[in-house]
Structure 1
Amino acid sequence: MFTFNSVTELNTYANDVLSADPRTSSLAVTGEISNLTIYRSSGHAYFTLKDESSQISCVMFKNYLASLSFVPKDGMKVILTGTCSIYSANGKFQIKAFAMRQVGKGDLAQQMKELHRKLSSEGLFAQEHKLPIPVLPSRIGVISSPAGAVIHDIINTLNRRNPNYSLLLYPASVQGETCAAEVISGIDHFCGRDDIDVIIIARGGGSPEDLWGFNDENLARKIYDCRIPVISAVGHETDYTICDYVADLRAPTPTAAAELVIGKYDELLSNLANKKSMLNLALMNYAEIQRRRLDALKDSKALYSPMVYVEQMRSSLDSVRKDLANSGRLLISEQRHQLKSIIDGIEMLGPMNVLKRGYSYASAEGKAVTSVKGLKVGDGLDVVFSDGSISVEVKDIYEGES
């Protein structure tokens, strides 16, 4: 038998055993939260995790609690991740929790993520496909539950902002298995009419399970194909569904949808008055510009004495004609001078001019003689000068001497 010297030693040993066991040192367990207490001073959460027959104490420290994407509540079913330990001070067996996930939420989130990726790749969320919301819709179609507060909030907001509207409600279940099918029927109903300018799909906030009907693929495709602009007003501001992404406009709440679907009456009147003033000012400016142009035309001599204008044009034409003639004569003179210079240069290089400078050339039998080679004593030569020629006979030949 092993003897522990103190209770502290025993509790420490038990805690070390739990820490060394791979099954209790890192675990995940499913249960229901109860007796939840979050202390303001420390920010730590203490609660019990239970099932039908057992329970265990749990603690989640402030830094881990702050990383959760939801607020834990009593009765919430969760999957807890952590490690088992013994609290030495009182020997209490507990779980130190590091993470927490709502049961079903992770699966639903993954399904929504996959559907979002699929529809996005097909272009169902493309901005260029979205229809503009009319500024002043004559009739608004609303698909929502007739029993909830949502439809009353929409009507009250519309009445407060602009009483000049008409609203038609299509009653539909906004959660549960029939939700998507009933909303699709509502869209078909409104598309079958010719007096609906915009459709609002609305419901209040709720859990992801409550809003799951608005993540239906068939509903998303129906909204995408709808010829009438659709505003999605599902849940609270932090709630996002596939319906929000594919709709032509997302409103964070049903009340916000009522504010977006139609302008405030006073603001519309003010904007209209401003545009009217801008239009009047533009018309006045245009009229003033045209008046000044007319005054300039009235003062023009061409208007009351067209011959003056004709004479001015004729004078200008004569001046241009004279300039052209002068330019032509100058150009011809310059070209003639250039041509004469070229001819003089050619003549200077001509054989007759060379002969005039005291040179002569000899030929024999009509061929020029350029060398003494090939000649012999007694050959006859013709010597040509600038003013005539003579016939001579070769008496002597001196090669290489001048």
Structure 2
Amino acid sequence: MIEKIETALSVRGLTEYIKLLLEEDPQLIQVWVTGEVSSLHVHRVGIFFTLTDNQGQATIKCVVWNGQKERLLELPKLGTEILVKGNVRLYGKKGEYQLTVFQVLATGEGLQALRYQQLKSRLASEGLFDKHLKRTLPSFPQVIAVVSAATAAAWGDIQKTLSQRNPGIKVLFSPATVQGFEAASSIVKAIERVNNDRRAEVIILARGGGAVEDLFCFNDERVVRAIAESSIPIITGIGHQRDETLADLVADVNAHTPTAAAEMAVPSYEVLRIEHQQRKERLVASLKQRLRKESDQLASLKNRLKNLPVNATSLREAKMKTVMLKQKLEALDPHGVLERGFSLVQQTDGEIIRESEQLIEGQELTIQLPQGTIKVKVTEILS
């Protein structure tokens, strides 16, 4: 008799348990897997393919759903080795697990691209690429520093451009290796050298175009941090227009070529001269226009004065009225009354005495005469 085992699981229960373990494992929620595409089938809902390891001893089924296809950098191709990012999912009906793929990269360049993206994301999360950290370049710098290889065509192009745009500019050269294993540390030292010197107002970090791998040093974290920590604004002119490095993203200004970087760093003397002449001409024209306007207004006022009749009736009447008003004011002036022989009698509180009923014997009064003031006391009041 077979003993009943109370802990036995159903197939469904076991499958769901395994599904939970796989899909909730933090290591499998997002995982990168490399292998060769050993089978591939394009279905109406997506691309189904199998990845096989290099030794052919292990395989995993993969799927890219149609909604994700446009976001892929590469499409899986039969017989190619690729690098995929996805998460593990369990298909319960068959008890099979597969990888739901979100991204596909070619190996070799793909691995380098992966490292690039990971470093870019980490540095971006630190805020190194934020726009508010970008410094404004000086409008009219007197000293420019260039970090590049002494034998590079970029250095020659920059010298030529700076000389053409502003012959009086002073250029400091801080040589660096810009390709190869030692390039990153060499660039960092060159940038530090300029910062320690403290004379330069702008730094141009430049290198001409080349293969993608030739520009790897400009994606080095040490170079990126050296640019971010520089006390002097930095312009990058690396490669061609199609190239973009992490150094470009962290720099204060990014130019597509070394020549363009030099053009951004220094304004053209000839352009400045022309702009100055244009501003001068506009100012002179504005002053002339203002002078004409004021002259016209002055001429108009002169004509109005000429047309004003001197002996006009209204003018004579105004003069007569002015004389009459003047005489009235003089008549009302208290000082004028006093001058005619009158005097002003006031109580001690300043009240004017106008009639004898206001007085009492012994009261002190102030009398203002045409010349001087006297104090008196009332001894007798006559009716």
Superposition TM-score, scaled by structure 1 size = 0.47
Greater C-alpha radius of gyration? 1
